[in-house]
Amino acid sequence: MKQIIAIGGGGFGRIIKDLKIEKYIKLQSSKESPKICFIPTATGDDKDYIDNFYKAFDSLGCKTSHIDLFKRTIDLRPHILDQDIIYVGGGNTKSMLAVWKEWGLDVILKEAYEHNIIMSGVSAGAICWFEKGITDSWKDNQATIDCLGFVEGICCPHYDEEPERIPYVKQILEAGEIKECYAVEGYTALHVVDDIPKFNVSFKKDTTCHHVKFSNNKIHHNSISDIIRVDL
């Protein structure tokens, strides 16, 4: 079974608190101590971010590692294909994807996904798996960029957390630039199973994933029907 857990915001990158998100990711593996590899490229391999990853997932009994693409880099393919879970951090999506392409990591991740290694991530690490993603990689504006294309559709993270997100989605829907969008709020994940966005996973009261469409001159927010409220 192929899985992607696309998180709209939250988790160990901000504050190590209840680890609900991290526990949910771990539970999707059938192993007691799954191997999980962190890819923090979007922050330029920020040290504090990497330290928080180890603190979070080590405390859950995972076998942890990370990939550094801005120092001397390990042989990527055997390491990635030996994992149970991949976790991609947030940051600058456009720069991250450019670096991955240079290293061939985009192709390796696709191979891992096809071998049922769980893909997960937050913000940049959420949208990267879709055909396109809505990003704030530029300082002064939102943009829609091409992503890896593992899953059909367009994804927008931080939908309720950053004030420019909702107006931008509305703008591009009304302009006909896109037909629909998966909009993921903070402390919520869109859980994709076998290429289909299937579960709306909420780690906090009143957060959700929206399937946003424009029809009959109106914006329609439809919730993903299968809702999981997580209290781990």
Residues tagged active-site: 123, 158
Cβ within 8 Å of residue 8, ≥6 positions away: 122, 123, 126, 157, 158, 159, 161, 184, 185, 186, 187, 188, 189, 190, 207, 209
